[in-house]
A and B are shown apart, each in its own frame.
Chain A
């Protein structure tokens, strides 16, 4: 019997020939990532459990990005960054990307890719549920809590239950009014927020392999929104290209066997999918943009590890070029590299940054910002009864700030079109 790509990578990491879904195995971790929210409690548990002379299993495999609560006056939030800074100093952590320095990178999941930590065939754990994003690189990546992370920090090992896999196959050429975000909303509406709990979500098909790495990351990023343990896309030439530009590490490429067993399979013809939106208050509350078009908005938000990558801004700039936004619109580049690209990439000689500024958008510094609400002074935070359309990944009650607010999740094309009209707008109106 064949194995899926997820099973093969887990088997390698567990030093086994084969593994089967449902089996509990101990994995050797290739990279552990943490950030300012979960890093400090992880460090505290690690010190408490391993004692003051605690040793990090392998410093070169630990990566720390302050990214969540960064540009705030909140003293507790700043204390978290201070703890990370001190820890990095005390233990000489090379892969620490401090805020306020030119090493600062922005949102961890995008920075992991850009800094060459995403390597095909490897196993990456992070103290963040969207760690599944890295699966776009043909690797196993998933989120854990502080205790698990502290255990990895001291031992380099962690237990995991081998997941069953679900395969999602997308066929056809992606129409210009759709993005990877629409594909993910399609899946979410079909399988709901727990349809993939404890399972691997494997993306396949010509549409997927025609996507850029950034767009592929939008698919794997939102695997957790269906409860998925990991999202995964086998590495191809596009992946190899991206990775080789960023690291010298050697790697091994795994592919699912043709006779591998799946829990279930879903197949889509992308040409029949319409622009989609998730209505309040759940990412699986899917509808067509058409059905809710005309809904009044008070805020638009383009940012986060899901919708704040350079590809997302390219989509948005296409519509915002020469237009003006009708409601406050926030542009939050996920990473500092993305922020730089906004300045260097142009449309008809005008930089993306200028296009956004001219259309009246507010451009923020790279960080998680209002994707998860954050302290009161967070830019773009939903207040009171805000009605927001956002390229982020979650719209649970209060996720972007106020419990009274309503958040719609959509593609950067849909958000940009809606920003121009001030009401929810189908991107096809701009094509």
Chain B
């Protein structure tokens, strides 16, 4: 596992559901065929209403029209991030777009599990509401050893909730790697 995740923030509101993360009509593409899988990156967060995309001002595209990767690699979210369907395509799409971590006030259970067990990204919980403190485009640094977040742009430091029971799975990079490491499967 990395010790530091560094990059630009993309700020979203509360209740970002899986239809906003990856609209259902795109779920037909293969996740294993590389050319097709790229499309998940392209369509990541394309269901977010324009006014809510990239707070505080909104109207910021997460990904430019012809791109498959975003310039933003850390998502800041509010409560109940990833609610809705069980589609693992959601954290997959965010990973494809280049997202390495999400910091949200809380998560929907399946999205959280998928992020951890699939080894797609690190889902941190914040200890306070950050969506009105961090702006889209701010430079951030997450310290995974000390569970802290630094807003380099504003020179402010925040604590994050420790990853707890799922830390070993995140450290190994997903459920299968963890199960191999611990001898559950060969």
Contacts and interface: CB of A to CB of B under 8 A. Distances in A.
Interface string A114-151: 00000000000011110100000000000111111011
Interface in B44-87: 47, 49, 79-80, 83-87
Interface of A: 24, 37-38, 40-41, 44, 48-50, 69, 74, 76-77, 79-80, 126-129, 131, 143-148, 150-151, 154-155, 157, 161, 193-194, 197-198, 227, 229, 282, 372-376, 394, 396-399, 403
A155 B182 CA distance: 14
A109 to B, nearest CB: 12
A41 B47 contact: no
Question: What range describes how many residues of B lie at the interface?
Answer: 35 or more
A155 B79 contact: no
B83 A143 contact: no
A267 to B, nearest CB: 25
Contact of A396 (B84, B118, B179): B84
B34 interface: no
Contact of B84 (A48, A49, A129, A147): A129
Given A151-B179, A194-B79, A396 B109 contact: no
A375 B83 contact: no
Closest 4 CB pairs of A and B: A76-B28, A145-B88, A145-B114, A194-B80
Contacts of A74: 28
A373 B86 contact: no
Contact of B19 (A150, A229, A399): A399
Contacts, number: 130
A369 to B, nearest CB: 12
11 contacts: A38-B86, A48-B32, A147-B118, A148-B113, A148-B117, A227-B83, A372-B24, A375-B28, A396-B17, A403-B23, A403-B47
B147 interface: no
B175 A148 contact: yes
Contacts of B23: 373, 398, 403
B32 A41 contact: yes
B35 interface: no
B31 interface: yes
Contacts of A127: 86
Contacts of A148: 113-114, 117, 175
A150 B20 CA distance: 25
B174 A375 contact: no
Given A38-B87, A151-B175, A227-B80, A145 B118 contact: yes
A80 B106 CA distance: 33
B34 to A, nearest CB: 13
With most chain A CB atoms within 10 A of its CB, the pick from B32, B49, B88, B107 is B88
Contact of A397 (B20, B179, B185): B20
Label chain B's interface by main secondary structure.
loop
B27 interface: yes
A274 B88 CA distance: 37
Nearest to B52: A397
A97 to B, nearest CB: 20
B145 interface: no
A322 B178 CA distance: 62
Contacts of A154: 185
A429 B40 CA distance: 47
Contacts of B25: 373-376
Nearest to A157: B184
A399 B106 CA distance: 22
Contacts of A49: 176
Given A41-B31, A194-B106, A128 B86 contact: yes
B130 interface: no
A379 to B, nearest CB: 14
A77 B25 CA distance: 10
Contacts of B179: 151, 155
B144 interface: no
Given A129-B86, A403-B49, 11 more contacts: A128-B85, A144-B113, A145-B86, A147-B174, A148-B117, A148-B175, A282-B15, A375-B28, A394-B17, A397-B49, A398-B23
A194 to B, nearest CB: 4
A145 B32 CA distance: 16
Nearest to B47: A398
B24 A145 contact: no
A194 B49 contact: no
A6 to B, nearest CB: 14
Interface in B73-125: 79-80, 83-89, 106-110, 113-114, 117-119
B28 A197 contact: no
Contacts of A144: 86, 110, 113-114
B29 interface: yes
B83 A193 contact: yes
Nearest to A398: B47
B47 A37 contact: no
B31 A194 contact: no
Given A129-B86, A373-B24, A403-B49, A44 B31 contact: yes
